[in-house]
Amino acid sequence: MRLTPLEAWTCRTVCPGGERLSRERIDAYQLEMLRQTVDWAKERSPFYRERLAGVSGRGLRGLQDLTALPFTTADDLRRRPQRFLCVSQSEVSRVVTLPTSGTTGDPKRVFFTAADQERTIDFFHHGMATLAGPGDRVLILLPGELPGSVGDLLMKGLDRLGATGVPHGPVRDFHRTLDVMEAERIDCLVGVPVQVLGLARTGRGRAAPVGVLLSTDHVPEALSGALRRAWGCRVYTHYGMTEMGFGGGVECEAGIGYHFREADLCVEIVDPATGNPVPEGEAGEVVFTTLTRRAMPLIRYRTGDVSRFLPDSCPCGSVLKTMERVRSRLGHVRILAGGGTLSMADLDEAVLAVDGVLDFRASLAGERGRDRLRIETRLTADACPSDTFAAIKEALHALPVINSARRAGTLALDVGPPPEGQTSGMEGAKRVLADLRF
Ligand SMILES: [Zn+2]
C-alpha cells in the first residue's frame, strides 16, 4: 500500500532540517505554530483580543494547554466577521460568504490572504497526488467560476502536479456531464457524493474514471461501493470546509479515514456537551485550530461534525493521525416518537444501496404521537418504479430502529417519487433528514 503523499509534504514543513517525521516532531511544530497563532490573533483581531484576554502564546507549555482556550463558534463568525480580521482589507485577496443556516440569520464570512490561499493550493497539489498523477485529466464538479473558489484553487494545485483540471461545476444534467467526461477523456473526478452516484448509475459503466474523490458531504459506504462496482474505480473521500481554507484532510489508499494537513491545522475531538477532550479513540465533535492562517485565524473552531481519531496507526504507514469518515452532524440526528434515533446517514446506507436510486429526500412529520417518514426518490430512467420502491421499503425495514418503531406502531413509512414538478434540485450539497414535526 502506498504511503499517503501528505507524509512527505508535511515532513518538508515540519522537519526543514531533513529529520525523520515523527509524532513528537509534529506536536512540537504544532505547539510553536499555535503560540504564534495565539499571539498574532490577539495582537490584531478585536475578537480574539477580547476572547483571549489573559492568554499568551508563550504561556502555552504543551499542546494539551490548547484545551484551556475558549472555543470559537459559527455564530461568532456570523455576528461580526470583520472583528476576526488580522490584516488590512487591502491584504485580503478573497472573501467567501457562506449561506446562512445558523441561529442569527446572518451569513458567515471568511477572509483569506494570497498566502492563505497558497497553503490550500499546496495542499490540493499534494492531496490530489493520492489519486491523480502527471498527464491525468481531472474533472472538477465543484464551484470554480470565481478566482479563489474551491474549484479554482484545485485547478492550480492540479497544474502543479502536472495534471490537467477540467472545470465543470456541480452536475445539473447527468447525460450532459457524461458526454463531457467522454469528450474530455477524464481519468479522475472530484465531486459531491450523490451527484457522482447519479453519473455512475445513469451512465451504467460509460465514461468510467479510474479515480474518484468525494467531497462536501458525508460519504455513505453504500455509495462508495456502488461507484466501485459501476466504474471499477478507486474511491477516496476528502473532508474540509470553507473555514478550514476549503481543504482539510484526505483519505489514503487504506480508505479508513482522513489524514489532515497537520502543518496547517490542529484537530481535536471534544465531548459536545462538556467541551472536554474525549479519551483517545472515542467519538465527539471535531474542533480545529488554524496554524498558518494570516487573514482570519480560527482558534478551537467547533465544526458540529462528529467523528473520532482511529487509535491504531494507518496501514499506509503514516505517522499522521487518521480520523474516521464523518457520518453525522450535531443536531441532525432525529429522536423518533417511540424512542431510538435516525439520521440521514442511516437512511443513505439503506436507500442508496438500492440499484436504480439516483437521489432521495427524507422528512419526518408527526401525527398524533406517531412519526411519518417520507422518502421521495428519484430513479434512473431504466428502473422499474414499483420494484425499486418495494426494494427501498425492504431496505428501510431492515434498519433495526425503523423495524422496531413500525412494530410498535409509532412509525409509518411513505416511499414514492418526488411531488409533480419537483424532480430537479434534490441534489443539494448537504443531506439532512428534515424534521417537520415541530
Ligand atoms: Zn494512511
CA angle 199, 205, 208 (to 5 degrees): 75
Fold of 5-117+252-329: Rossmann fold (3.40.50)
| Domain map (residue ranges) of the chain | 5-117+252-329, 131-239, 334-435
CATH number of 131-239: 3.40.50.980
Q: What is the pLDDT of residue 426?
A: 57
Q: Distance (Å, rounded) from C-alpha 390 to C-alpha 385?
A: 8
Residues with CB under 5 A from ligand 1 (ion): 4, 252, 254, 314, 316, 318
CA of 231 to the centre of ligand 1 (A): 23
Give residue 8 CA to ligand 1 midpoint distance, Å.
12
Q: Do domains 5-117+252-329 and 131-239 have the same CATH topology?
A: yes
Q: How far is the CA of 246 from the centre of ligand 1 (A)?
A: 21
Considering only the top CATH level, what class is 334-435? alpha beta
- Those residues of the chain that have pLDDT short of 70 are 100-105, 421-429
- For 61, the grid coordinates are 507549555
**128 C-alpha to ligand 1 centroid (Å):** 14
133 C-alpha to ligand 1 centroid (Å): 18
Residue 205: the pLDDT is 86
Rounded distance from Cα 386 to ligand 1 centre (Å): 43
Distance in Å, CA 277 to ligand 1 centroid:
24
Q: What confidence score (pLDDT) does residue 28 get?
A: 97
Nearest to 194 by CA among 405, 346, 359: 359
**Res 425: pLDDT:** 52
Q: Which three cell numbers stand for residue 315?
A: 496501514
Residue 327 has what pLDDT? 85
Q: Ligand 1 centroid vs 4 CA: distance in angstroms? A: 5
Predicted pLDDT at 103: 54
**Distance from the alpha carbon of residue 275 to the mean position of ligand 1, in angstroms:** 28
Q: How far is the CA of 380 from the centre of ligand 1 (A)?
A: 35
In this structure, the strands spanning 164-167 and 137-140 are: parallel
pLDDT confidence of residue 429: 59
